[in-house]
Amino acid sequence: MFDWKWDFVWEIMPRLLVATGNTLLAAGAGYAIAIVLGLVFALAQRGPSRLLAFVVRELVEFIRSTPLLLQVFFVFFVGPQFGIRLSPWTSGMIAIGLHYACYLSEVYRGGIESVPRGQWEASTALNMSTIQTYRRVIIPQAIPSSLTGMGNYLVGIFKDTPMLSVIGVAELVHTANAIGSEHYRFLEPLTLVGLIFLAISLPAAGLIRLLEGYVRRKLGM
């Protein structure tokens, strides 16, 4: 029955903390890819080419409605079939980055569409190019309304990193499983992993809410 062993907890804690570092690294790197790629996807859907907009739209829909776990397997296993070998980390980052890029592109799209039309007209009147308009007028104003969504997906990507364990990325769940099968004890490692996730995601969600309020006040909204 209930036999929680504290000395076992202290014994495995260092390994779990290293794994926590890996989880944070995976989430951070994946998010960095997603932020940039998401903007590309969002702008491509608003670009002059109808064909490109259509293709990107369908791609985003496809990736958003299929499981990330399957995409992780797809990226990891399909490369070698065609002679491209990707490490677990590389394929994991590609899969999770691409998946969240699609979510973020929707967030950006919403943000860009929330900027009033008058801003575009004013920029045209000032003889600004499209790129200048986006960079100096539209995107800065789209950021505040995108912040909530961006923050939610940052926490979301953090909680989805355990899916990378299936291809051997040594993040928290992978490490907990390894410890569990070495010692035939799953109670402590899995419970600790759950607590570590809570200890990071709850304060993170709180911080994001504070930041959001701060940015809104700063921009006088």
Q: Which residues contact 144 (CB under 8 A, 6 or more apart)?
A: 212, 215, 216, 219, 221
Dihedral sign, Cα of residue 159, residue 165, residue 169, residue 173:
positive
CB under 8 A: which stretch of 13-21, 39-47, 89-97, 180-188 binds other proteins? 180-188
Count of residues making up the chain:
221
Alpha-carbon distance 203 to 184, whole Å?
A: 32
C-beta of 47 vs 67, nearer to other proteins:
67
Alpha-carbon distance 74 to 5, whole Å?
A: 39
Binding mask 22-61 for other proteins (x = CB under 8 A): ---------------------------------------x
C-beta of 67 vs 213, nearer to other proteins:
67
Alpha-carbon distance 134 to 83, whole Å?
A: 40
Cβ(132)–Cβ(123) below 8 Å = yes
**Binding to other proteins (CB under 8 A): which residues in 198-217?**
198, 201-202, 205
Q: How far is the CB of 143 from other proteins (least distance, A)?
A: 23
Q: Supply angle C-alpha 32, 37, 40, rounded to 5.
A: 140
**Binding to other proteins (CB under 8 A): which residues in 52-111?**
61-62, 64-71, 73-74, 77-78, 80-82
Identified binder of other proteins from the candidate list 147, 163, 169, 170, rule CB under 8 A: 163
Q: In this structure, how many other beta carbons lie within 10 angstroms of the beta carbon of residue 60?
A: 21
Residues that bind other proteins (rule: CB under 8 A) add up to a total of: 42
C-beta of 138 vs 172, nearer to other proteins:
172
Interface residues toward other proteins, by CB under 8 A: 1-2, 61-62, 64-71, 73-74, 77-78, 80-82, 159-163, 165-166, 172-173, 176-177, 180, 186-187, 190-191, 193-194, 197-198, 201-202, 205
